[in-house]
Copies of this chain bind each other. A is one copy, B any other.
Amino acid sequence: MADYREMWKSLDMDLEKHDQLCKVLPEFYGDIYLSQENRPEAMNYYNFVVSEVHGLRIKELEEHRAKDGKVIGTFCVYVPDEVINAAGAIGVGLCGGSDFWEPDGEKVLPRNTCPLVKASVGAKISATCPYFQSCDLIVGETTCDAKKKAWEILNDYIPVHVMDLPQMKREKDNLHWQDEIKIFIDRVEAMTGNNVTEGNLAESIKLINKKRKALERLYNTRKSHKLPISGKDALLISQIAFYDDPERFIKQTNELCDELEKRIESDISVFKEGAPRIMVTGTPMAIPNWKLHHIIETSGGAVVCEETCTGTRYFENFVDENDTTLEEQMKALADRYLNINCACFTPNTGRIDDIVRLYREYSADGVVYFTLPFCQTYATEFKKVKEALDREGIPVIMVETGYSLQDAGQVKTRLEAFFEMLETNKQAAVTE
């Protein structure tokens, strides 16, 4: 990585503390990612992105800001990137995925808060995340109690705009969300000095849809009997989608897909024949939270799909491109975004339908229901999901685990037992 210290300094970063973070990441990444065998060639791009995670992309953001451009940070897949992009701003996902930031988060938040929220807040108040430091505005939402109340605290450090996500999905809630999008447009226009017009919004809708299509194409390759890419790599790509330049990301991901589709034609797989195909469902995995996938894929399993915010929820469903007036476009945005089924909604039966559908589409053998500690919505929703999966005869195991690796051995032992059970099921099915 080039020398970015001057840039980091200009971003008011805590350089000393940031050095500690920079020291651990390469080895951590090497152990988890570079150790994989038979990786697709095109993964080199994402390796490069990770190696420059606090460098090149931040430089791009700063170049944009030097030309009076704005950077807007987000934390949730319900916040419409299209609006940010249409106003000429750059959107970056800011959720924290490392326990490095948790102690700083705990300085201002209760310990009984989910690690994602603690790490996100800690990243800001420790001044060790250049993405946060580059943001002119961050956008919160009222998805869960922890985040909703954390924005009030973050607002002391950086301007926050909160979008009030509805908690139900009735017609009136859709109208409410359209209105929240309208208010968000006003705020973004005011801060960027650029108007969101039918024209630039239409362009942005097309661009973000293209990003979704690239991810959909990537995920489609994972439906193959022979898996051309690991779940770990697919997760990384999803995580990078949140902050990479959209055009470049689309190009690189489509190039990767070319390679993966050739692999499928040639029956090349990164997993041993018969590895249990695992679908992960639950809470998001912010970069660099690769823990669960790493445990699964070093315990004999292969992750084929993530029904999470860093998975299908991020790219499924496209915004209708045929709407021409701003009013219609806002409705199209609301329609698309409210199609995401987060556990913060009540009821949230759509998520159960998604899980069952995706399980079949990806020919999964079992489901790992993942929740971060203290995530009450996903933890409570497990009961309803499990009841539905039991009815469908779909095996499921709940894994609640945070960012620390302390419980990794225990999680591994439980998952190994689960995978053994899945293999026994499979053999029984073959014998029948």
Q: How far is the CB of A166 from chain B (nearest CB, A)?
A: 7
Is B346 within 8 A of A162, CB to CB? yes
Is B150 within 8 A of A380, CB to CB? yes
Q: A164-B167, A168-B164, A374-B112 are in contact. Are A346 and B148 (CB under 8 A)?
A: yes
Check: A12 CB closer than 8 A to any chain B CB: no
Is B112 within 8 A of A149, CB to CB? no
Which chain B residues border A150 with CB–CB below 8 Å? 380
Check: A193 CB closer than 8 A to any chain B CB: no
Q: Mark A302-317, 1 if CB is under 8 A from B, else 0.
A: 0000000000000000
Check: A152 CB closer than 8 A to any chain B CB: yes
Is B112 within 8 A of A346, CB to CB? no
- The quantity of this chain's copies bound in the complex is 2
Is B376 within 8 A of A146, CB to CB? yes
Q: How far is the CB of A146 from chain B (nearest CB, A)?
A: 5
Which residue of chain B has the shortest Cβ distance to A150 in the bound complex?
B380
Check: A113 CB closer than 8 A to any chain B CB: yes
Check: A261 CB closer than 8 A to any chain B CB: no
Give chain A interface residues in 97-147, CB to chain B under 8 Å: 108-110, 112-113, 142, 144-146
Check: A379 CB closer than 8 A to any chain B CB: yes
Q: How far is the CB of A314 from chain B (nearest CB, A)?
A: 22
Which chain B residues border A110 with CB–CB below 8 Å? 376, 379-380, 382
Check: A248 CB closer than 8 A to any chain B CB: no
Check: A153 CB closer than 8 A to any chain B CB: yes
Check: A350 CB closer than 8 A to any chain B CB: no
Q: How far is the CB of A179 from chain B (nearest CB, A)?
A: 7
Is A145 within 8 A of B142, CB to CB? no
Is A149 within 8 A of B380, CB to CB? yes
Is A142 within 8 A of B346, CB to CB? yes
- C-alpha gap A146/B348 in the complex (Å): 14
Q: How many residues of A contact B (CB 8 A)?
A: 39
Is B152 within 8 A of A377, CB to CB? no
Which chain B residues border A172 with CB–CB below 8 Å? 176, 179
Is B108 within 8 A of A149, CB to CB? no
Q: Mark A361-382, 1 if CB is under 8 A from B, else 0.
A: 0000000000001101101111
Check: A347 CB closer than 8 A to any chain B CB: yes
Check: A67 CB closer than 8 A to any chain B CB: no
Which chain B residues border A152 with CB–CB below 8 Å? 346-348, 380-381, 384
Which chain B residues border A176 with CB–CB below 8 Å? 172, 176
Which chain B residues border A373 with CB–CB below 8 Å? 112
Check: A383 CB closer than 8 A to any chain B CB: yes
Check: A42 CB closer than 8 A to any chain B CB: no
Is B384 within 8 A of A153, CB to CB? yes
Which chain B residues border A380 with CB–CB below 8 Å? 109-110, 113, 145-146, 149-150, 152-153
Give chain A interface residues in 280-295, CB to chain B under 8 Å: none
Give chain A interface residues in 214-246, CB to chain B under 8 Å: none
A348, A374, A377, A380, most chain B CB atoms within 10 A? A380
Which chain B residues border A164 with CB–CB below 8 Å? 166-168, 173
Using a CB–CB distance below 8 Å, which chain A residues touch chain B? 108-110, 112-113, 142, 144-146, 148-153, 162, 164, 166-168, 172-173, 176, 179, 343-344, 346-348, 373-374, 376-377, 379-384
4 nearest interchain CB pairs?
A149-B380, A110-B379, A145-B376, A142-B167
Beyond A112-B379, A149-B376, A376-B376, list 12 extra A-B contacts (CB 8 Å): A110-B379, A112-B374, A145-B344, A145-B376, A145-B380, A146-B376, A150-B380, A152-B346, A152-B384, A164-B167, A164-B168, A167-B167
25 chain-A/chain-B pairs, Cβ below 8 angstroms: A108-B383, A109-B383, A110-B379, A110-B380, A112-B376, A113-B380, A142-B167, A142-B168, A144-B145, A145-B344, A145-B377, A146-B376, A148-B377, A149-B381, A150-B380, A152-B347, A152-B380, A152-B384, A153-B380, A153-B383, A164-B173, A167-B167, A172-B176, A176-B176, A374-B376
